[in-house]
């Protein structure tokens, strides 16, 4: 695959904005990559189409090819789809004892994942966990969980022969409350395929336990079947998340994308082996890299973008020291600040800016204010940005109105621009006069 791709990149080495043809050529290969990674055809098709619309016309970063740029855009879009809201590893387990219901087909990895997750909750969050096996179908299933419990030092509900899953769930609930457990985990029985009896059984357990989390455990290697299973379980039982197991295998993880696109349910964890430590929270970037199999290209484009930002910043610094600090420079600064977590954070990092950071804090310059300032600058003409001295009352009115803001806000912005310019000039002089060098000796 990468050979085929580098061929495409050789052909696409022009600079400039991405043409429709560039995007199409690169996306043809990306489509193949997705299908090879076991992404389902309709999901791949929809995804490619969305990216195509987004990518055409985008600028190409200096020193990367259009093909590489498209891969980066695809990668970011993949991460966007894979990422759910919130932290995948944060389970809702307040109000002890919190029930967690584990569901899925037989052999998907429920019992193993139950134990892995219990170990994680115990070790990372200091939770007291009780595990209960509800698998009355397979003779050795309950013993399997009990053995894992001993291995990881987590309690399991004592086995009572002859109970049905609902009775076991009730007993687990009582035992968890009496025993002062934070969490109790219900490991249900699976079937080889979805069937009515299984669903009814799981539903009855769900109604008794009223779980805070219902995690579907599916084999990540089964691709389209995994997605089908998830749709079914969600429709019948209602799931709060998915655990993809066997992601240590050869599979490229395309199931993750289909899963997200089709069910909309968050992927919470991935299983990476049979050992009790082989469970990790879901990381969209990692899976996206694996699905595309083009991690080095993504890194290359990111690096090129960073280099260009650094070049721009250096040029700006030079202009600033010469006293040529334009509104465009200020805007670039403001945008950078938004990216870097606000003005205070950035000023705090710059030597000699501590005092200014304080002023900024007092002025209440938060993200919202920064966004308004950027809007004001956008509302200026090119000439005005280069030379803010042009701004007389009527121009000010027009600019403020254009940004939907008050002239007083524009005045504050102009004042800040002046002060920053003055300060930069001073810094520049200090540098020339050798004061900085003196101070550094």
Instruction: Using CB under 6 A, list all residues that contact ligand GDP.
Output: 104, 106-112, 190, 217, 245-246, 248, 271-274, 278
Which two three-digit tokens encode residue 269?
């964890």
> Nearest approach, Cβ of 39 to ligand GDP (angstroms)?
20
At 186 the three-state DSSP class reads strand
Find the distance separating the first CA and the last CA of the chain, reported in whole Å. 56
- Identify which of 264, 255, 187 has the alpha carbon closest to the alpha carbon of residue 221: 255
User: Which of 242, 185, 245, 247 has its CA nearest to residue 215?
Assistant: 242
State the residue number with the nearest CB to Mg ion. 111
Nearest residue (CB) to ligand GDP, 280 versus 409 = 280
Give Cα separations from 103 to 58, 242, 292 (angstroms).
44, 10, 30
Choose among 218, 259, 15: nearest CA to 110: 218
Query: Out of Mg ion, ligand GDP, none, which partner does residue 106 contact, by CB within 5 to 8 A per kind?
Result: ligand GDP
Residue 274 binds which of ligand GDP, Mg ion, none (CB < 5-8 A, kind-dependent): ligand GDP
Task: Please say which residue, 133 or 258, places its beta carbon nearer to Mg ion.
Answer: 133
Rounded to the nearest whole angstrom, what is the least distance from the CB of residue 229 to Mg ion in the complex? 15
107 in a known ligand binding site = yes
Question: Binding residue per annotation — 112?
Answer: no
Given Mg ion, ligand GDP, none, residue 112, with its beta carbon under 5 to 8 Å by kind, binds: ligand GDP
396 labeled binding residue:
no
The DSSP letter of residue 390 is G
431 annotated ligand-binding residue: no
Give the tokens for residue 287: 């899976």
Q: What minimum distance in Å lies between the beta carbon of 151 and ligand GDP?
A: 12
Structure tokens at 345: 């954070």
Longest dimension (CA), the chain: 91
Per the DSSP assignment, residues forming a β-bridge with 4 are: none
| 106 assigned to a ligand binding site | yes
Q: What residue 245 binds from Mg ion, ligand GDP, none (CB within 5 to 8 A, per partner kind)?
A: ligand GDP
Shortest CB 233 distance to ligand GDP, Å: 13
Q: Output the smallest distance, CB 111 to ligand GDP, in A.
A: 3
Distance separating alpha carbons of residues 313 and 316, to the nearest angstrom: 5
Closest CB 142 distance from Mg ion, rounded Å: 9
Q: What is the token pair recorded at 36?
A: 């090879």
Task: State the binding partner of 248 from Mg ion, ligand GDP, none, CB within 5 to 8 A by kind.
Answer: ligand GDP
CB of 213 vs Mg ion, minimal distance in Å:
18
- Tokens 């010469």 identify what position? 322
Give dist(CA 273, CA 17) in Å, integer.
Answer: 44
Beta bridge partners of 242: 216, 267
Of 191 and 319, nearer to Mg ion (C-beta) is 191
Query: Closer CB to ligand GDP, residue 69 or residue 214?
Result: 214
Are the beta carbons of 175 and 63 closer than 8 angstroms?
A: no
Considering the complex, state which of residue 136 and residue 257 has its C-beta at the smaller distance from Mg ion.
136
Of residues 103 and 334, the one with the C-beta less far from ligand GDP: 103
String of b and e for 341-355 (b: at least 16 CB within 10 Å)? ebbbebbeeeeebee
Quickly list H helices, 153-269. 165-178, 196-209, 224-236, 254-263
Site string for Mg ion, 110-149 (x = CB under 5 A): xx--------------------------------------
Residue nearest to ligand GDP (CB): 271
Q: Which does 273 bind (CB under 5 to 8 A by kind): ligand GDP, Mg ion, none?
A: ligand GDP
The verdict on whether residue 108 carries a ligand-binding annotation is: yes
Residues comprising the binding site for GTP?
Answer: 104-111, 187-191, 245-248
Q: Which residues bind Mg ion (CB under 5 A)?
A: 110-111
């Amino acid at each position: 695959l990468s050979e085929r791709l580098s061929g495409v990149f050789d052909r696409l080495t022009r600079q400039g904005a991405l043409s429709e043809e560039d995007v199409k050529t690169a996306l043809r290969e990306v489509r193949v990559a997705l299908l090879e990674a076991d992404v389902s055809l309709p999901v791949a098709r929809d995804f490619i189409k969305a990216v195509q619309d987004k990518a055409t016309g985008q600028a190409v970063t200096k020193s990367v090819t259009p093909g590489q740029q498209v891969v980066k855009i695809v990668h970011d879009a993949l991460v966007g789809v894979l990422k759910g809201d919130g932290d995948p590893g944060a389970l809702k387990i307040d109000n002890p004892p919190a029930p967690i219901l584990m569901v899925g087909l037989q052999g998907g990895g429920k019992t193993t994942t139950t134990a892995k997750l219990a170990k994680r909750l115990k070790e990372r969050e200091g939770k007291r966990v009780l595990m209960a096996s509800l698998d009355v179908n397979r003779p050795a299933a309950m013993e399997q969980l009990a053995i894992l419990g001993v291995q990881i030092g987590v309690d399991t509900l004592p086995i009572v022969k002859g109970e049905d899953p609902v009775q076991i769930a009730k007993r687990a609930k009582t035992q968890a409350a009496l025993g002062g457990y934070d969490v109790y985990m219900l490991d249900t029985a699976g079937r080889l395929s979805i069937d009515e009896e299984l669903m009814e059984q799981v539903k009855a357990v769900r109604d008794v336990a009223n779980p805070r989390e219902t995690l579907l455990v599916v084999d990540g290697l089964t691709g389209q079947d995994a997605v089908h299973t998830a749709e079914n379980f969600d429709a019948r039982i209602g799931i709060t998340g998915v655990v993809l197991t066997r992601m240590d295998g050869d599979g490229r993880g395309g199931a993750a994308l289909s899963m997200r696109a089709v069910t909309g349910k968050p992927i919470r964890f991935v299983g990476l082996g049979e050992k009790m430590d082989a469970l990790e929270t879901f990381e969209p970037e990692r899976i996206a890299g694996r699905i595309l199999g083009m991690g080095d290209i993504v890194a290359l484009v990111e690096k090129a973008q960073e280099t260009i930002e650094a070049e721009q910043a250096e040029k700006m610094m030079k202009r600033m020291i010469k006293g040529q600090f334009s509104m465009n420079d200020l805007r670039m600064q403001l945008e950078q600040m938004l990216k870097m977590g606000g003005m205070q954070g950035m000023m705090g990092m710059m030597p000699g800016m501590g005092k200014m950071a304080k002023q900024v804090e007092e002025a209440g310059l938060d993200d919202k204010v920064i966004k308004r300032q950027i809007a004001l600058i956008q509302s200026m003409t090119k000439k005005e940005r280069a030379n803010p001295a042009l701004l007389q009352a009527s121009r000010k009115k027009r600019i403020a109105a254009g940004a939907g803001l008050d002239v007083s806000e524009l005045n504050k912005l102009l004042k800040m621009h002046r002060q920053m310019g003055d300060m930069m000039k001073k810094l520049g002089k200090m540098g020339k006069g050798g004061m900085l060098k003196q101070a550094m000796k």
